[in-house]
Amino acid sequence: MSTGYIVALITVIIWGLTFVSTKVLLTAFTPVEILFARFFIGAIALFIAMPKRLQAKGWCEEKYFIAAGASGVFLYYFLENASMLWTNASNAGVIVSTAPFFTALFSREKKTKWFFVGFAAAMAGIAMISFGSLEVTGEGILGDFLALAAAAVWGIYAVLTKKISTFGYPEVQTARRSFLYGLAFMIIPLVFWDGCGTERDVFTAQNILNLLFLGMAASALCFVFWSVAVRKLGAIRTSIFIYLTPVITVIASAILIGEAITPLSGAGTLLALAGLVLSEK
């Protein structure tokens, strides 16, 4: 198995666990507070890993870093975190995994019939997972819509990452650059989203460990790994690995926070995996 496949697999496993971690943190933090803490920790980790500053070649390159920070760092994760205020971790993980469809729409890479056959199979599996675990409430519709919007934004980010990978900079530097722009975009909602109206127990061991996991592993490490995977495999092939995210999320949410796995969810998980295999063909 090539390096690209290995790092893509590690990345989606960690990202699958982030939905559970975020769901736990939402009991004490607002979505944007989680987001800012996560990427602030991640940026520090990347500065320690490679202190050297990236010298971009003018606006022709800088605009891609700004767009990546706005889409893949700020908007995608803001929508994803906010969605879990109104839906469960399993549903968010399932719906966000539709990102490869949007990546394919926005990418100029050639798409074979096997991609579409695999995509159809995976989408059917994702629908089964969603219906099997969905809590039927009026608020759940809003959460599912925000998760779908996040998937569309990720498709834009995946294409931007592919373009940035052609600049020839180390992945640590490019990820850190995007982090910093993303943090800048977070400042306004961070100031205006008031999370102090309720009494919160913030500095617990559980919260600190979850924030470190999101910052160090899911952000700093995985953004570098994802850039490596995109450079080696291409935007579409790498994004197909996101199909594994709902599988991991459904299992982890059942084990760690007690969300139910129904027979329909289990069957959908298997079908989503089959879709991944077909798409890779």
28 close to 201: Cβ distance less than 8 angstroms: yes
DSSP conformation class of 97: T
Q: Check residue 130 and give its pLDDT.
A: 67
For tokens 């800012």, the residue is 36
Phi, psi of 196 (to 5 degrees): -95, 5
In the chain, domain spans: 3-280
Phi-psi region of 134 (alpha: psi -120 to 50; beta: other; left: phi over 0): beta
Q: What is the pLDDT of residues 59-70, one digit of tens each?
A: 888 999 999 999
Question: Residue 200 — pLDDT band, cuts 50, 70, 90?
Answer: low
pTM score of the predicted model? 0.81
End-to-end CA distance of the chain: 15
**Using CA atoms, how far apart are residues 74 and 63, in angstroms rounded to an integer?**
15
Candidate from 84-88, 175-179, 185-189, 199-203 with smallest mean pLDDT: 199-203
CB 36, CB 190: distance < 8 Å: yes
What does the pLDDT read at residue 165?
83
Interhelix angle 89-96/244-257, nearest 10 degrees = 170
Region 142-157: mean pLDDT is 87
CA distance 38 to 55: 25
Report the alpha-carbon distance of residue 156 to residue 183 in Å, rounded: 18
Other Cβ atoms less than 10 A from the Cβ of 273: the count is: 16
Average pLDDT, the chain: 82
Predicted pLDDT of residue 21: 94
Identify the three-state secondary structure at position 115.
Answer: helix
Q: Quick check: 91 pLDDT over 90?
A: no
User: Using CA atoms, how far apart are residues 137 and 19, in angstroms rounded to an integer?
Assistant: 20
Polymer length of the chain: 281
Of 50-54, 236-240, 276-280, give the range with the top mean pLDDT.
Answer: 50-54
Report pLDDT for 117: 86
Q: What does the alpha-carbon distance between residue 41 and residue 214 come to, in Å, rounded to a whole number?
A: 9
Measured CA to CA, the distance from residue 238 to residue 5 in angstroms comes to: 8
| CA–CA separation, 187 and 167 (whole Å) | 28
Share of the chain above pLDDT 70, in %: 92
Confidence of residue 140 (pLDDT cuts 50, 70, 90): low
**Is the model's pLDDT at 39 over the cut of 80?**
yes
**Helix (H), strand (E), coil (C) string for 21-75:** HHHHHCCCCCHHHHHHHHHHHHHHHHHHHCCCCCCCCCHHHHHHHHHHHHHHHHH
